[in-house]
Amino acid sequence: MGRNLKWKAILVVLIIGFALWMGYPPLDIRDSEGNIVEKGKVNLGLDLQGGMHLVLVVDTSDLTPQEAKDAPDRALEIIRNRIDQFGVLEPSIQRQGSDRIVIQLPGVTDRERAIKLLKSTAHLEFRLVSDDPEFLKKAITGEIVPGYELKSLKLRDGKTEELLVEKKASLKGDTLVDATTDFSQTTFNQPYVSIRLNNVGGATFSELTGANVGKRLAIVLDGTVYSAPVIREKIPSGNAQITGNFSVQEANDLAIVLRAGALPAPVKVIEERTVGPTLGKDSIEKGIKAIITGGLIVLLFMAVYYLISGLIADFALILNMVLITGALAYFHATLTLPGIAGLVLTIGMSVDANVLIFERIREEFKLGKSMRAAIQSGFQRAYITILDANITTLITALILFQFGTGPVRGFATVLSIGIISSMFTALVVTRLILDFLATGTHKINKLVMLQFVRNPKINFIGARKVAYVVSVVLIVIGMFTFIKRREANYGIDFTGGVLQQYRFERFIPLNDIRETLRPIGAGDVPIQQFSDKREILIRTQEDNSGQIMGKFKSTFKDNRFEVMRIERVGPSIGKDLRGKAVKTVIFAMIGICLYVSFRFEFRFAIAAIVALLHDVGISLGAIALTHRELSIPVVAALLTIVGYSINDTIVVFDRIREDRKLMRKSTYKEIINASINQTFSRTLLTSLTTLIVVLALYFFGGEVINDFAFVMLVGIISGTYSSIFIASPILIDWPSKRAR
């Protein structure tokens, strides 16, 4: 083995070792009684592991009728911002009734800190402190001093100082625009909160400090004085500091609540529980088994089809999963069902990268090249294609992460990690092993591979107009049905619904409950178990509590139950989040357009976007025609389709760009048709391996994730079809001289 190969091997081993150390065990290890022996390193979302269930009530007693009407919605958005900054990914936040908010936080263990963060009103005030000692003595003895009130300031040594502060605030925190945690250089790196005011607040603060030099200014948050420094000089910058005996965590939490804004009214926690996963333990177990089954079939297929090369691809795929797990643990990311969608796409892209490499090496062998020359040339020719396809998808993922929220961001996190990991395993690890086989003491002279599709010469371009008509008809029918169904297209995540809570005398398996509810069409609704597993929480779009209770009475005659509550809740994805998700996808399309225009031409970018919209349109139409509903998992599936579609299209585009240089005497139709045929074997193999995993999810994953698997299934088939019959033919029909 050469010196460079040794250093590469050492680097790869170190990276693998670090990933294993960071990510093992990925999930909780339990003993025979179900107790956690070792905590898993990967954070799981609410849909996979459950978490804290809180019900907050907004106290609007001191507000005007108009303020009281808007207060719960304003409080909900402020709490959502705080939770996002707190670092809890994929929370569930819903309005319930007129003044309540239902919150579910996945995997939160520090309950006191979480509750304090949510309850803090964050009402910030700057109040002047009286410098008259006689007034202070009167206040301490209980005498009322008009315009002032007595407050206590906790000092660093644990003692308290009594202060007489003005009742009326000289400046309020509604002008605050930012709050960050900093560290003092003079008091042993003691943390404090640095705040910045807007122009109006800065001008008022400048005037206030300028007129009161030598006096003390109390900084009061939710009625508590945190600090009361002496004003040394006029402060024109609009910057101030909140000091106190803070820990770093307390300073960070204080900065979070200040950045998110003050609550319009106090909130109280009226219910706190631990709940199971929203998908239900039974559905999760089925889903995991389905993914493992699909993954094993993919590994077996690759080993049979590519033989030694397939075993190398299998190792790269397993290593890819190890690296992703380690990265999720290292970055404290949260894995949810949308994240698993990103994982399925990553598996497809990882297999695709190796298929591209092996197919290129096969072509080089046909030219009579030696093992080393074929490997080197094959990697060189596959490198640009892999880079373009992965970078385009990575741009999409990064934009989704930057501007998205909730499920969009969870999907983007896993996809971003997966893309980088799959490129590393394909371009570094696979290359390292192949180079070792070509140069080691036990070197081989040729890689033997099976080939089902040999030199196809199908006239794809000739069928393009028929394909256009078929696609337009399908999309028109699908969109007409989608528009006609209106709100019926949206599930409880978008429209809100009814929260039904029941308590049984004895534990009942979730699978038995689903079987009981299936005859009334509620077998696939989200069902959660509380910590004692005798209470269940059912979310339905309509109030069918009468039917549910009737089924429970007839089926579980020997297990009595009581109704804890039946209440209507708002959507977990409100209009603001829905609008933000749409904007995020638009930004992603702009990013794709810019990159593809830079790497290819503008018309290639438009063709890619048209194919992407085609696939999303087909998928939405399929949802409407089969009377399924849009939910958070389905949104994740649609995002996966976006990533898959653009990846598939770019591979074909890259071959077209290459063939234009090699086939200078051919017509544009001949070049594009030849390119599609040359990549046809790769297209089929990548689609087949991805479909295997999705089909396993569809048939064996259970009812709860069936819609998710169905949309993925439609999208992958549509994405394969559009890269051949839509994106590439558009380049021929593009109204330009060069295209003609």
pLDDT, tens digit, 9 for 90 and up, residues 173-231 = 888 888 888 887 766 678 888 888 888 888 998 999 899 888 898 888 888 888 888 88
* Residue 29: pLDDT over 80: no
What's the confidence (pLDDT) of residue 405?
64
> 630 falls in which pLDDT band (50, 70, 90)?
confident
What mean pLDDT do residues 17-27 have?
87
* Residue 664: pLDDT over 70: yes
* Residue 739: pLDDT over 60: no
Q: Do domains 3-27+278-439 and 124-260 have the same CATH topology?
A: no
DSSP 8-state secondary structure symbol assigned to residue 697: H
Taking alpha carbons only, the member of 419, 291, 223 closest to residue 693 is: 291
Segment 503-534, tens digit of pLDDT: 899 988 888 888 899 888 888 788 888 767 78
Tell me the C-alpha to C-alpha distance, in Å, between residue 516 and each of 25, 504, 554: 36, 15, 9
Q: What is the dihedral of CA 712, 713, 717, 720, to 10 degrees?
A: 40
3-class secondary structure per residue, 144-189 = CCCCEEEEEEECCCCCEEEEEEECCCCEEHHHEEEEEEEECCCCCC
Residue 209 has φ and ψ, to the nearest 5°, of -70, -35
- Using alpha carbons only, what angle is made at residue 82 by residues 76 and 85, rounded to the nearest 5 degrees? 140
Segment 272-312, tens digit of pLDDT: 877 777 776 677 777 788 888 888 999 999 999 999 999 99
CA distance 130 to 325: 58
Range scoring the smallest mean pLDDT among 157-166, 297-306, 407-416, 477-486 = 407-416
**What's the token pair of residue 516?**
């009981």
* Residue 470: pLDDT over 90: yes
Half-sphere exposure of 313 (CA within 13 A, CB side): 31
The residue ranking higher by pLDDT, 686 or 276, is 686
The residue ranking higher by pLDDT, 410 or 659, is 659
Percent of the chain at pLDDT > 70 equals 94
Tell me the C-alpha to C-alpha distance, in Å, between residue 233 and each of 193, 219, 220, 559: 20, 17, 20, 74
What mean pLDDT do residues 455-480 have?
93
Fold of 497-569: Alpha-Beta Plaits (3.30.70)
What mean pLDDT do residues 538-565 have?
88
CATH number of 44-121+265-275: 3.30.70.3400
Domain range annotation of the chain? 3-27+278-439, 44-121+265-275, 124-260, 497-569, 574-733
Mean pLDDT rounded to a whole number for the chain: 85
> 88 falls in which pLDDT band (50, 70, 90)?
low
- Using alpha carbons only, what angle is made at residue 421 by residues 418 and 424, rounded to the nearest 5 degrees? 150
CATH number of 574-733: 1.20.1640.10
Segment 229-270, tens digit of pLDDT: 888 888 888 888 877 777 788 788 888 888 877 788 888 888
Q: Cis peptide before 25, with omega less than 30 degrees from 0? A: yes
Q: What is the dihedral of CA 373, 377, 380, 384, to 10 degrees?
A: -160
CB 12 within 8 A of CB 428: yes
Percent of the chain at pLDDT > 90 equals 24
What's the confidence (pLDDT) of residue 678?
92
What mean pLDDT do residues 431-439 have?
88
What's the confidence (pLDDT) of residue 624?
93
> 3 falls in which pLDDT band (50, 70, 90)?
low
Segment 148-180, tens digit of pLDDT: 999 888 877 678 888 999 988 888 888 888 888
- Using alpha carbons only, what angle is made at residue 18 by residues 15 and 19, rounded to the nearest 5 degrees? 85
> 424 falls in which pLDDT band (50, 70, 90)?
very high
What's the confidence (pLDDT) of residue 571?
74
Range scoring the smallest mean pLDDT among 22-31, 247-256, 398-407 = 398-407
What's the confidence (pLDDT) of residue 441?
67
What's the confidence (pLDDT) of residue 258?
81
What mean pLDDT do residues 92-111 have?
80
- CATH: 2.40.40.20, 1.20.1640.10, 3.60.15.10, 1.10.3720.10. Which one for 3-27+278-439? 1.20.1640.10
Neighbours of 146 (CB within 10 A): 6
Taking alpha carbons only, the member of 251, 272, 254, 235 closest to residue 104 is: 272
Of 86-100, 107-121, 268-282, 290-304, which one has max mean pLDDT?
Answer: 290-304
* Residue 64: pLDDT over 70: yes
CA distance 411 to 426: 22
Taking alpha carbons only, the member of 113, 107, 111, 411 closest to residue 276 is: 107
What mean pLDDT do residues 352-360 have?
91
Fold of 124-260: Gyrase A; domain 2 (3.30.1360)
Show the beta-strand stretches assigned E in 41-123: 43-44, 51-58, 92-96, 100-106
What's the confidence (pLDDT) of residue 467?
94
